[in-house]
């Protein structure tokens, strides 16, 4: 028995050595898994499925990427798992949502921070937008601001939860307009928040541009403003908040992309960082994303690192008083 | 979509014959279905359930086809305060559900409500009772169901199988389909209550699917002259629960198809599927892609009928599952339980949750507690809690708590039903006590 164990140990050591020695030139040798910390069918999930669908092509990774959903607690369950339990061997990737995971790590109670992960590339940027029901008396952002200033704390505004992009946008609006809103976090993500606006449970809502775009197309809501630096290609007629006189930047934009847990071999990170952005730029991917109403925004590893650092700084300042 | 239907139906066999519900929606069906199987009426239970499923399901899809615009307004009418009262209505049912005594029913309901608080609170992000990272997401409802219903059965089967070599097989009586149809026609009231309750509750986004069967079961029990037979293998409860379960499927898609809001996890997956193909649910779907919309709706209709035929065909054979020696059966079910709870979200944590809840339930059952009220607490807790928090936030920003929760016709109607439900249960409990004490005196 002892000799058997010893033999097995030697064999294992041999295996790891060869893997390290060839500098991961053969990576990936088997299919890769990507964890999405939201449920199947949600925006992050279905975008992740689209952007990874060409990964099996020879000019991409040459191996398919399978999506694994670990939903719960606004994404905390999945990211906790990726930071603490996932193997950092390059075969476990994760999808990130900024500002969500950064804001959660600042607020505390989770086992991750930006230092727990290594970004690979960004695929999408979904700005937060301000929506009101189709019969609402509000027709411009100014109407909403006027109401909120005249009635402090009375403007009920739904969003997908606390410390997600929607909440950040609401905090920024309050700060920029020197006003008080009543932010109502919903359980069940953006869909529940949108239902509250359509049904008139709340007076206004902050939601993802992609979901709001669909609701506006169906004639259920009016989109009053976009919380981004410039107008969005899907909504060329909707002004940014800045244009309307409210100094809200793009800190609430929901950036989606791919990362790996800290400790993943540098050779693999480099290989992924070189390949994954080109995979996102595939024309089939872009076509499907556009058809689904999902704005794309491809960034490479260095750009994402800079974006993460900038977000962390803004969020620390914004969340300091909470 | 066909797949969803098939999964729901496949759950059926396991459910009755072994008293293990395959999905949260099926808890109510096991209450009488299993008792019937024990009486040797397994084939009959399966036939009745497939037939009533088909009737309820077809009715639900017809509602979806003809009344979608009207129903969409209905679905929107339920705000946080209404959903809160609806959850409370569910809580009032807990005590009387499948329990020897109301007190024990309420106690196990409370255990369920407590279990539901474990994990990160979805609205505020507060951490509650997380002693291990795998509990961060809370108790997964599927893992809990498997544990609470399957594991006590498995332990009991192992115990028995050892004692008498598993010879204690249940005799299965043959049951012609024709008599199942005439039986179904006899229980028109249960059928009607099930179908209507299921359709109405199925509409409500985020609540419907999980409690439709239970509410229908409870309602038909209250309206039935044979209340005492419920839970002992009475076809009425089975028919009401099954027809409600399937009647809810069509209406539950209304919010998705008209407003592009997924009302259930299943609907969310469907939304993702449509978006990948560049199709937006809502008016766009019916105006620009009628081929997709109608193929989809018709396939649901055809699926309902095909599954019924298939189900009836195999019902006779499947009922024989009960004749497999208990010790073997226990091993098979245990394997499936581990596999099933792991595969929900590929997490070993769910398997541990399943196993520990299962062992706990085995001992609770020995003391006369039952799993159904516990699961109902687990399902209703988060609905009541999150809607109360949301409602109270909206209320404090607007007109205050009391006007928000206690005014408006729908709020008042739901409160009235809650009060009636409580009074009725109290009355029944008192009456039952008087009878038993009389009998005791007589005896």
Angstrom CA distances, A5 to A15, A19, A315, B98, B366, stand at 15, 21, 52, 54, 46
Domain-embedded: residue A25 = no
Please tell me the distance from the alpha carbon of residue B155 to that of residue B166, in angstroms, as a whole number.
Answer: 14
Q: Give residues with Cβ within 8 angstroms of A19, minimum separation 6.
A: none
How far separated are the first and last CA of chain B, in Å rounded?
57
Q: Which of B81, B117, B120 to mutate to test the interface with A (most CBs of A within 10 A)?
A: B120
Of A72, A161, A184, nearest to B119 by CB-CB distance is A72
Distance from CA of B396 to the nearest CA of A (A): 9
**What residues of B are in contact with residue A77 (Cβ under 8 Å)?**
120, 136-137
**Strands A204-208 vs A128-133: parallel, antiparallel or unpaired:** antiparallel
CB-based contact A179:A144 (threshold 8 Å): no
3-class DSSP state for residue A123?
A: strand
Backbone angles phi, psi at A125, to 5 degrees: -140, 115
**Minimal CA–CA distance to A272: which of A97, A83, A91?**
A91
Domain identity same for A156 and A214? yes
Domain-embedded: residue A8 = no
Of A80, A184, A218, nearest to B136 by CB-CB distance is A80
Domain identity same for A115 and A138? no
Domain-embedded: residue A5 = no
Q: Would you kindly state where each structural domain of chain B is located, as residue ranges?
A: 2-399
Residue in chain A lying closest to B77 (CA): A199
Interface touch A201/B394, C-beta < 8 Å: yes
Please tell me the distance from the alpha carbon of residue B189 to that of residue B187, in angstroms, as a whole number.
Answer: 5
What's the confidence (pLDDT) of residue A224?
A: 95
Interface touch A195/B397, C-beta < 8 Å: no
End-of-domain residue from the set A193, A227, A261:
A227
Domain that holds residue A185: 128-227
Number of neighbouring beta carbons within 10 Å of residue B257: 24
Q: Which of B79, B81, B87, B125 to mutate to test the interface with A (most CBs of A within 10 A)?
A: B125
Interface touch A187/B122, C-beta < 8 Å: yes
Token reading at A160:
């997908």
CB-based contact A216:A223 (threshold 8 Å): yes
**What residues of A are in contact with residue B281 (Cβ under 8 Å)?**
214
Least confident range of A61-65, A94-98, B209-213, B306-310:
B209-213
Please tell me the distance from the alpha carbon of residue B422 to that of residue B89, in angstroms, as a whole number.
Answer: 9
Q: Which of B260, B285, B385 to mutate to test the interface with A (most CBs of A within 10 A)?
A: B260
Q: Give residues with Cβ within 8 angstroms of B18, minimum separation 6.
A: B34, B150, B153, B321, B322, B329, B333
3-class DSSP state for residue A188?
A: coil
Domain identity same for A222 and A297? no
CB-based contact A166:A206 (threshold 8 Å): yes
Backbone angles phi, psi at B81, to 5 degrees: -65, -40
Domain identity same for A215 and A258? no
Domain identity same for A147 and A95? no
Least confident range of A141-150, A156-165, B128-137:
B128-137
Interface touch B345/A71, C-beta < 8 Å: yes
What's the confidence (pLDDT) of residue B363?
A: 94
pLDDT digits (tens, 9 = 90+) for A183-222: 999 887 788 899 899 999 999 999 999 889 888 888 889 9
Share of chain A above pLDDT 90, in %: 62
Interface touch A72/B271, C-beta < 8 Å: no
Residue in chain B lying closest to A194 (CA): B261
How is residue B23 annotated by DSSP? S
Domain identity same for A63 and A90? yes
Domain-embedded: residue A262 = yes
Query: What's the rounded mean pLDDT across residues A122-134?
Result: 94
Q: Which residues are paired to B128 by β-bridges? A: B119
- How many helices and strands, by DSSP H and E, does chain B display? 21, 2
Find the length of chain A: 322
3-class DSSP state for residue B231?
A: coil
**What residues of B are in contact with residue A291 (Cβ under 8 Å)?**
277-278
Please tell me the distance from the alpha carbon of residue B186 to that of residue A212, in angstroms, as a whole number.
Answer: 50
Using the Cβ of B124 and the Cβ atoms of chain A, whether some distance falls under 8 Å is answered with yes
Interface touch B280/A182, C-beta < 8 Å: no
Distance from CA of A299 to the nearest CA of B (A): 22
What's the confidence (pLDDT) of residue A298?
A: 95
Pseudo-torsion of CA A305, A307, A310, A313, nearest 10°?
-80
Q: Which of A68, A131, A191, A295 to mutate to test the interface with B (most CBs of B within 10 A)?
A: A191
Cα dihedral sign, B338-B340-B341-B345: positive
Domain identity same for A184 and A100? no
Interface touch B345/A69, C-beta < 8 Å: yes
What's the confidence (pLDDT) of residue B356?
A: 94
Domain-embedded: residue A175 = yes
Element (H, E) at B56: helix B42-77
End-of-domain residue from the set A227, A245, A277:
A227
Q: Which single residue is written with the structure tokens 């900024």?
A: A98
Interface touch B272/A219, C-beta < 8 Å: no
Pseudo-torsion of CA B316, B318, B322, B328, nearest 10°?
150
Residue A63: pLDDT over 60: yes
Distance from CA of A96 to the nearest CA of B (A): 18
Backbone angles phi, psi at A130, to 5 degrees: -95, 120
Using the Cβ of B292 and the Cβ atoms of chain A, whether some distance falls under 8 Å is answered with no
DSSP letters for A195-247:
HHHHHTSSSEEEEEHHHHHHHHHTTSEEEEEEESSS-BTTBTTSPBTTTTT--
Which residue would you say has higher pLDDT here, B183 or A159? A159
Please tell me the distance from the alpha carbon of residue B370 to that of residue B106, in angstroms, as a whole number.
Answer: 10
What's the confidence (pLDDT) of residue B230?
A: 79
Domain-embedded: residue A158 = yes
Please tell me the distance from the alpha carbon of residue B286 to that of residue B257, in angstroms, as a whole number.
Answer: 9
Please tell me the distance from the alpha carbon of residue B263 to that of residue B126, in angstroms, as a whole number.
Answer: 25
What's the confidence (pLDDT) of residue A275?
A: 93
pTM: 0.83
Q: Which single residue is written with the structure tokens 């607007």?
A: B398
Element (H, E) at B434: helix B409-442
Interface touch A41/B265, C-beta < 8 Å: yes
Number of structural domains in chain A: 2
Using the Cβ of B123 and the Cβ atoms of chain A, whether some distance falls under 8 Å is answered with yes
Domain identity same for A69 and A208? no
The radius of gyration of chain B from alpha carbons, rounded to an integer in Å, stands at: 22
**Minimal CA–CA distance to B341: which of B110, B180, B150?**
B150
Q: Which residues of A30-50 are buried (b: 16+ CB within 10 A; e: fewer)?
A: eebbbbbbbbbbbbbbbbbbb
Domain CATH for A202 = 3.40.190.10
Token reading at B126:
């507060």
Distance from CA of A21 to the nearest CA of B (A): 32
Residue A115: pLDDT over 80: yes
End-of-domain residue from the set A211, A227, A243:
A227
Measured at the alpha carbon of residue B217, what is the angle toward residues B215 and B223, in degrees to the nearest 5? 100
Domain-embedded: residue A84 = yes
**What residues of A are in contact with residue B269 (Cβ under 8 Å)?**
40-41
Interface touch B138/A214, C-beta < 8 Å: no
Domain identity same for A102 and A147? no
Please tell me the distance from the alpha carbon of residue B239 to that of residue B33, in angstroms, as a whole number.
Answer: 10
Domain CATH for A79 = 3.40.190.150
Please tell me the distance from the alpha carbon of residue B201 to that of residue B218, in angstroms, as a whole number.
Answer: 14
Please tell me the distance from the alpha carbon of residue A99 to that of residue A194, in angstroms, as a whole number.
Answer: 20
Interface touch A155/B397, C-beta < 8 Å: yes
**Minimal CA–CA distance to B183: which of B238, B241, B112?**
B238
How far separated are the first and last CA of chain A, in Å rounded?
60
Domain identity same for A273 and A304? yes
- The tens place of each residue's pLDDT in chain B, 443 residues long, gives 444 444 444 445 555 555 566 566 677 777 777 778 777 777 888 888 888 888 998 998 898 888 887 888 877 888 889 889 988 888 877 766 765 677 788 888 889 999 999 988 777 777 888 887 778 778 888 888 889 988 988 888 888 765 554 445 556 667 777 788 888 888 888 888 889 888 888 887 766 666 788 778 888 887 888 777 777 778 888 888 888 888 888 888 888 887 777 777 777 778 877 877 777 777 777 777 888 888 888 888 888 888 888 888 877 776 667 677 777 878 888 888 898 888 877 788 899 999 999 999 999 988 888 888 888 888 888 888 888 998 999 998 888 888 889 988 889 999 998 898 888 877 877 777 766 555 444 43
Residue A58: pLDDT over 90: no
Q: Give residues with Cβ within 8 angstroms of B68, minimum separation 6.
A: B254, B257, B258
Residue in chain A lying closest to B256 (CA): A191
What's the confidence (pLDDT) of residue A235?
A: 92
Interface touch A40/B276, C-beta < 8 Å: no
Of A70, A84, A292, nearest to B275 by CB-CB distance is A292
Q: Which residues of B87-123 are buried (b: 16+ CB within 10 A; e: fewer)?
A: bbbbbbbbbbbbbeebebbbbbbbbbbebbbbbbbbb
**Strands A221-227 vs A128-133: parallel, antiparallel or unpaired:** antiparallel
Residue A36: pLDDT over 70: yes
Domain-embedded: residue A283 = yes
How is residue B248 annotated by DSSP? T
ipTM of the complex: 0.80
Using the Cβ of B272 and the Cβ atoms of chain A, whether some distance falls under 8 Å is answered with yes
What's the confidence (pLDDT) of residue B1?
A: 40
Please tell me the distance from the alpha carbon of residue B68 to that of residue B258, in angstroms, as a whole number.
Answer: 8
**What residues of A are in contact with residue B283 (Cβ under 8 Å)?**
218-219
Residue A76: pLDDT over 70: yes
Q: Which residues are paired to A226 by β-bridges? A: A129, A240
Query: What's the rounded mean pLDDT across residues A246-270?
Result: 94
């Amino acid at each position: 028995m002892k000799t058997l164990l010893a033999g097995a140990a030697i064999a294992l050591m041999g295996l790891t050595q060869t893997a390290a020695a060839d500098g991961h030139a053969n990576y990936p040798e088997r299919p890769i898994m990507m964890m999405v910390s939201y449920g199947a069918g949600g925006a992050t999930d279905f975008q992740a499925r689209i952007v990874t669908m060409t990964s099996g092509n020879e000019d991409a990774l040459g191996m398919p990427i399978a999506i694994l959903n670990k939903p719960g607690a606004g994404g905390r369950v999945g990211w906790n798992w990726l930071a603490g339990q996932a193997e950092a061997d390059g075969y476990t990737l994760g999808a990130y949502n900024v500002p969500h995971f950064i804001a959660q790590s600042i607020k505390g109670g989770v086992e991750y921070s930006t230092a727990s992960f290594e970004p690979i590339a960004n695929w999408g940027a979904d700005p937060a937008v301000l929506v009101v029901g189709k019969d609402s008396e509000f027709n411009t952002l100014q109407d909403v601001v006027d109401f909120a200033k005249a009635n402090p704390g009375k403007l009920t505004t739904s969003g997908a939860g606390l410390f997600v992009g929607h909440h950040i946008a609401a905090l920024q609006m309050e700060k920029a307009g020197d006003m008080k809103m009543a932010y109502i976090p919903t359980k069940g993500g953006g869909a529940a928040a949108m239902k509250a606006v359509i049904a008139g449970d709340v007076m206004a809502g902050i939601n993802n541009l992609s979901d709001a775009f669909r609701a506006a197309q169906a004639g259920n809501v009016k989109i009053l403003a976009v919380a981004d630096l410039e107008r969005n290609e899907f909504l060329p007629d909707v002004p940014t908040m800045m244009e309307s006189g409210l100094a809200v930047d793009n800190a609430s934009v929901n950036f989606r992309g791919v990362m790996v847990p800290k400790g993943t071999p540098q050779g693999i990170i480099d290989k992924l960082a070189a390949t994954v952005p080109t995979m996102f730029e595939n024309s089939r991917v872009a076509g499907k994303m556009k058809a689904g109403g999902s704005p794309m925004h491809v960034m490479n590893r260095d750009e994402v690192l800079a974006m993460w650092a900038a977000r962390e700084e803004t969020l620390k300042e914004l969340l300091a008083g909470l | 979509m066909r797949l969803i239907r098939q999964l729901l139906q496949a759950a059926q066999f396991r459910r009755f014959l072994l008293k293990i519900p395959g999905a949260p929606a099926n808890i109510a069906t096991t209450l009488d279905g299993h008792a019937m199987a024990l009486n040797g009426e397994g084939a009959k239970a399966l036939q009745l359930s497939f037939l009533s499923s088909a009737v309820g399901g077809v009715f639900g899809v017809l509602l979806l086809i003809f009344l979608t615009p009207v129903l969409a307004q209905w679905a929107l009418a339920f705000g946080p305060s209404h959903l809160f009262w609806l959850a409370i209505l569910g809580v009032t049912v807990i005590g009387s559900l499948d329990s020897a005594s109301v007190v024990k029913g309420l106690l196990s309901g409370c255990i369920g409500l407590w279990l539901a608080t474990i994990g990160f609170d979805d609205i505020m992000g507060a951490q509650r009772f997380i002693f291990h990272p795998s509990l961060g997401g809370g108790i997964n409802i599927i893992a809990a169901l498997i544990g609470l219903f399957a594991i006590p059965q498995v332990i009991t089967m192992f115990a028995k199988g050892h004692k008498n070599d598993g010879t204690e097989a249940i005799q299965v009586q043959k049951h012609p389909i024709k008599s199942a149809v005439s039986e179904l026609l006899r229980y028109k009231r249960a059928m009607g209550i099930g179908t209507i309750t299921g359709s109405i509750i199925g509409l409500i986004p985020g609540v419907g699917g999980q409690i439709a069967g239970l509410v229908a079961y409870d309602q038909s029990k209250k309206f039935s002259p044979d209340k005492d037979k419920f839970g002992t293998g009475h076809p009425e409860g089975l028919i009401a629960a099954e027809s409600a379960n399937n009647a809810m499927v069509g209406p539950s898609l209304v919010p998705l198809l008209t407003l592009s809001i997924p009302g259930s996890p299943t609907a969310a997956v469907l939304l993702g599927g449509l978006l990948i193909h560049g199709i937006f649910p809502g008016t766009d779907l019916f105006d620009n892609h009628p081929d997709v919309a109608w193929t989809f709706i018709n396939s649901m209709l055809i699926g309902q009928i095909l599954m019924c035929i298939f189900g009836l065909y195999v019902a006779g054979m499947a009922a024989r599952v009960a004749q497999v020696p208990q010790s073997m059966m226990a091993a098979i079910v245990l394997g499936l339980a581990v596999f099933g709870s792991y595969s929900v979200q590929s997490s070993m944590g769910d398997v541990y949750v399943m196993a520990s809840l299962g062992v706990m339930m085995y001992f609770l059952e020995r003391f006369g507690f039952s799993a159904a009220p516990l699961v109902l607490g687990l399902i209703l807790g988060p609905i009541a809690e999150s809607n109360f928090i949301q409602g109270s936030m909206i209320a404090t920003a607007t007109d205050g708590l009391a006007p928000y929760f206690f005014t408006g016709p729908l709020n008042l109607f739901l409160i009235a039903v809650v009060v009636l439900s409580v009074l009725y249960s109290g009355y029944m409990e008192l009456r039952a006590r008087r009878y038993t004490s009389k009998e005791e005196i007589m005896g």
